Amino acid sequence: MEKILIFDTTLRDGEQAPGASMTSFQKLEVACQLEKLGVDIIEAGFPIASPDDFAAVKEAAKLIKRGSVCALARCIDKDIERAGQSLKKARHPRIHLFLATSKIHLKYKFKKAEDEIATIARNSIRKAKKFCSDIEFSPEDATRTEKDFLFRMIEMAINEGAHTINIPDTVGYSYPQEIYSLITDIRNNVPNIGKAVIAIHCHNDLGLATANSLSAVLAGARQVHCTINGIGERAGNASLEEIVMAMKTRKDVFGNFYNGINTKEIYRTSRLVSKLTDFVVAPNKAIVGRNAFAHESGIHQDAILKKRITYEIMDPHDVGIASSQLILGKHSGRHAFRDRLKELGFNLNDQQLNKAFLRFKEVADKKKDIYDDDLRIIVEDEIRSVKPIWRLRSFEVNSGTRIKPKAEVVLLKGSKDIPGVSSGDGPVDACFKAIDKITGYKAKLEDFRLEAVTSGKDALGQVSLKLKVKNSIISGRGASTDIVEAAVKAYIDAANKIGSK
């Protein structure tokens, strides 16, 4: 088995993502977590970029024991000196030098000829070697570089003592077959390539960063540059979690390779980076997104409950997520609904379950996700009103700042619809009075409380109220995504108790 080295650049390329900057203190927190995760090389920053970047690399260099700590430098003397100084205390220091080699960059960015670029790179590698023996060289924009020049640059860099040659797809332009051919060509055309490790560094402009990185591994790359949550310049970098989990999951393809990542730390690391950078992970992000192990469709939920592998190719435990989530919503089936109720401690008979399920579907049509607290309310509602005298058929309210609120409520008694119409001080009051007209009860509202059961703008509202009838106090409860409906239900609930006295 061959080891694939994981080079994490969350703290350097990842931090270059617009708006993702971290303080040196926060970077240290991430560096420690990356060490726990088991990455082989931590690119801790670009020391020349700012005093804080310098401090971050310097502190990480002191702290990290297991892996290498790497500092980025352009092929410029002051960059190299700064990188060298920042790594003084590192147990395993590495300087990562980069210099663009593509025609586009040479012509527009540097206005220099190929030979001049080769000389600058040679001198920089020699200088960097004075600070540490472990040098990684990146011909920036390698995938758009003329192949002959690229091979020449790589050969020179290895001759000067670079142990790792990184191939950056700087603008995320390549597709997997091209990367495969490029790495193969490098292996076949650079005479001393056997003395260096080939690394791959892919950007995600076309959404191909992970695929390209994996393709490079199959072609002979033995080090992969990646970031947590795929953060990085523009559309980001290849994401560590995707690469590692693809290799673990597709043993049929990557069975000859292993890496040092403790996958159980993936989710924790993802959360930490998201929190510290304020970069929200998209819900559908592979491996670490909120929905990556969540199932809403009834067909999927049913199958998952029978056998997880029907719709899951990875075990959530493997990435540090406690369990798959069956999200109850409008697509959920009876099986998942019943299972969740059991977990919540409700043992309903078939009739109760049917009623609760119908009510759940009604609520799910209005509310996207149904949380456990919503479920409790739905079920308790159904259990309590097993044999009601009055049931809500419909209601309509007309209310506003320039009209007196008016309500029309229709209650079902037995099999008969009975309408009631009334005006009131507000929409709820108008409904209550309309209900009084139907039931004929004379009740005084003593207490009225409205609370949101769960959070979010589509949260279920629960109304609890108390009615005074003669000398007794009768309570009622109702829940709905519509608060007037919740109030109406609570009032009917109380009315049914009065009727059954």
* Residues lying near ligand KIV in the complex (CB under 6 A): 13, 98, 138, 140, 166, 168, 170, 201, 203
Which H helix or E strand runs over 406? strand 406-413
Work out what residue 212 binds among Zn ion, ligand KIV, none; the CB cut-off runs from 5 to 8 Å by kind.
none
CB of 193 to ligand KIV, least distance (A): 19
Residue 491 is inside which H or E element, if any?
helix 483-499
With CB under 5 to 8 Å by kind, the binding choice for 14 among ligand KIV, Zn ion, none is none
**DSSP strand pairing (390-398 vs 68-74):** unpaired
Q: Which residues lie across from 75 on neighbouring strands?
A: none
The CB-nearest residue to Zn ion is 13
Cβ contacts of 79 within 8 Å, gap of 6 or more: 47, 48, 73
For residue 465, how many other CB atoms are within 10 A of its CB?
A: 23
Minimum Å gap between C-beta 206 and ligand KIV is 14
Q: In angstroms, rounded to a whole number, what is the distance separating the alpha carbons of residues 25 and 279?
A: 18
In the three-class reduction of DSSP (H, G, I as helix; E, B as strand; rest coil), residue 224 is classed as strand
Residue 13 or 265: the one with the smaller Cβ distance to Zn ion is 13
Interaction partner, residue 140 (Zn ion, ligand KIV, none; CB < 5-8 Å by kind): ligand KIV
Q: Are 229 and 286 in contact (CB under 8 A)?
A: no
Would you say 97 or 409 has its CB closer to ligand KIV? 97
Distance CA 416, CA 420 (A): 13
Nearest distance, CB of residue 79 and Zn ion, angstroms: 16
Least separation in angstroms between CB 233 and Zn ion: 6
From the list Zn ion, ligand KIV, none, which binds 98 (C-beta under 5 to 8 Å, kind-based)? ligand KIV
* CA dist., res. 8 & res. 34, Å (int): 8
Residue 483's H or E segment, with its range, is helix 483-499
List the single partner that 138 binds among Zn ion, ligand KIV, none, CB under 5 to 8 Å by kind.
ligand KIV
Q: Which is nearer to ligand KIV, 226 or 487 (CB)?
A: 226
Minimum distance of Zn ion from residue 224's CB (angstroms): 13
Residue nearest to ligand KIV (CB): 168
Of 168 and 476, CB closest to ligand KIV: 168
Measured CA distances, 191 to 147, 179, 187, 196 (Å):
14, 19, 8, 11
Neighbouring residues of 304: CB distance < 8 A, sequence distance ≥ 6: 295, 310, 311, 312, 324, 326
What residue ranges bind Zn ion (CB under 5 A)? 13
For Zn ion, which is the closer residue by CB, 200 or 465? 200
Q: Which is nearer to Zn ion, 13 or 296 (CB)?
A: 13
What does 82 bind: Zn ion, ligand KIV, none (CB cut-off 5 to 8 Å by kind)?
A: none
User: Judged by CB, which is closer to Zn ion: 13, or 59?
Assistant: 13
Q: How far apart are the C-alpha atoms of 295 and 420, rounded to whole Å?
A: 43
For residue 52, the minimal CB distance to ligand KIV (Å) is: 19
Q: How far is the CB of 218 from Zn ion (least distance, A)?
A: 21
Spatial distance between the Cα atoms of 401 and 403, rounded to a whole number of angstroms: 6
Q: Choose the contact partner of 8 out of Zn ion, ligand KIV, none; CB within 5 to 8 A by kind.
A: none
Measured at the alpha carbon of residue 427, what is the angle toward residues 422 and 432, in degrees to the nearest 5? 55
Q: In the numeric block, which tokens belong to residue 402?
A: 């320039």
Q: Which is nearer to Zn ion, 13 or 302 (CB)?
A: 13
210 is in the binding site of which of Zn ion, ligand KIV, none (Cβ under 5 to 8 A by kind)?
Answer: none
Please, what is the minimum distance in Å from the beta carbon of residue 20 to Zn ion?
13
Count CB-CB contacts under 10 A for residue 409.
28
Is the CB of residue 336 less than 8 Å from the CB of residue 343?
no
DSSP assignment, residue 66?
Answer: S
Q: How far is the CB of 47 from Zn ion (least distance, A)?
A: 17
Within its chain, how far is the Cα of 327 from the centroid? Answer: 16
Of 242 and 485, CB closest to Zn ion: 242
Which of Zn ion, ligand KIV, none has residue 302 at its interface (CB below 5 to 8 Å by kind)? none
Q: Nearest approach, Cβ of 225 to ligand KIV (angstroms)?
A: 7
Are the C-beta atoms of residues 233 and 16 closer than 8 Å to each other?
yes
SS3 181: helix
| Closer of 13 and 381 to Zn ion (Cβ) | 13
Minimum distance between the CB of residue 363 and Zn ion, rounded to whole angstroms? 47
Residue nearer to ligand KIV on the CB measure, 74 or 367: 74
For 255, the enclosing helix (H) or strand (E) is none
Residue 41 sits at φ, ψ, to 5 deg, of -135, 130
List the one residue out of 6, 131, 123 whose CA is nearest residue 57: 131
Identify what 68 binds: Zn ion, ligand KIV, none; CB under 5 to 8 Å per kind. none
